[in-house]
Amino acid sequence: MNKLTTSDLLSALNWRYATKVFDATKKIPAELWATLEDSLVLTPTSYGMQPYKFLVVQDPAKLVALLPNSWGQKQVVDCSHYVVFLARTQMTEADVIKLIQRTSDVRGIPLEKLNFYRDMILSDVVHGPRGQAAFEWAARQCYIALGNLMTVAAVLGVDACPMEGINPPEYDKILGLEGSGYKTVVALALGYRAAEDKYASLPKVRYDLKDLVQHV
């Protein structure tokens, strides 16, 4: 496997910024977009439960409807791809059984040997503390995926802008999520920066390493 150099990685992370103006004429190539979608699938989650979905909104009418529910931020309609991160509202025994079956199939492990793992997950995400706050727990998993996708996009030279300035309940209505078992958490616009985006050339504002990282 060819490893990314440390300097290449830091260069990509310094290059990225929350893109304010996208070039609406430039689209992410299909092969590159497929890789970005794969990176979402490869995101780590607690217990490997993957309690979310990623809705790639491509319908122009829906994007226009989402715009006023996104503080009028034009990234929604001008970006190449707009991803809405959806979290599960409740976790069930069926969800756990599905994961255990998938684990058995992929790893060739007899189901009976996964009983302990199954019961451990059930006692937490269904019947335990996380089960009592399933949506909040799943929403945090969405943010892991969000960060992962932004980093991968930067490494591949794709611009992105995380969108927390949205109205999730209205998103849910527009996207037809009522009764689906999922609710909107956050969104991410991806594409290519426009030449006139003044924010692209501004220095990145961050605190010093010593102010944020401590060794104990």
Would you say residue 209 has pLDDT above 90?
Answer: yes
Tens-digit pLDDT profile for residues 159-188: 999 999 999 999 999 999 999 999 999 999
Percent of the chain with pLDDT strictly greater than 90: 98
Instruction: Write out pLDDT tens, residues 47-80.
Output: 999 999 999 999 999 999 999 999 999 999 999 9
Spatial separation of the C-alpha atoms in residues 142 and 182, rounded to whole Å: 12
What's the mean per-residue pLDDT of the chain? 97
For residue range 77-129, what is the model confidence (pLDDT) as tens digits? 999 999 999 999 999 999 999 999 999 999 999 999 999 999 999 999 999 99
Give residue 1's pLDDT band: very low, low, confident or very high (50, 70, 90): confident
Q: Are 5 and 159 in contact (CB under 8 A)?
A: no
**Polymer length of the chain:** 216
CA distance 136 to 143: 11
Report H helices in the chain: 6-15, 30-41, 60-66, 75-78, 93-107, 115-121, 129-132, 134-155, 168-174, 209-212
Report DSSP state, residue 201.
Answer: G
Q: Beta strands 159-163 and 182-191: pairing type?
A: antiparallel
Question: pTM of the entire structure?
Answer: 0.97
Which strand (E) or helix (H) includes residue 53?
strand 52-57
In this prediction, residues 5-33 reach a mean pLDDT of 98
- 84: its two tokens: 């809405």
- Domains with residue ranges and CATH for the chain: 6-212 (3.40.109.10)
pLDDT the model gives residue 36: 98
DSSP reduced 3-state for 71: coil
pLDDT the model gives residue 79: 98
In the prediction, which pLDDT does 2 show? 81
Convert the pLDDT of each residue in 117-161 to its tens digit.
999 999 999 999 999 999 999 999 999 999 999 999 999 999 999
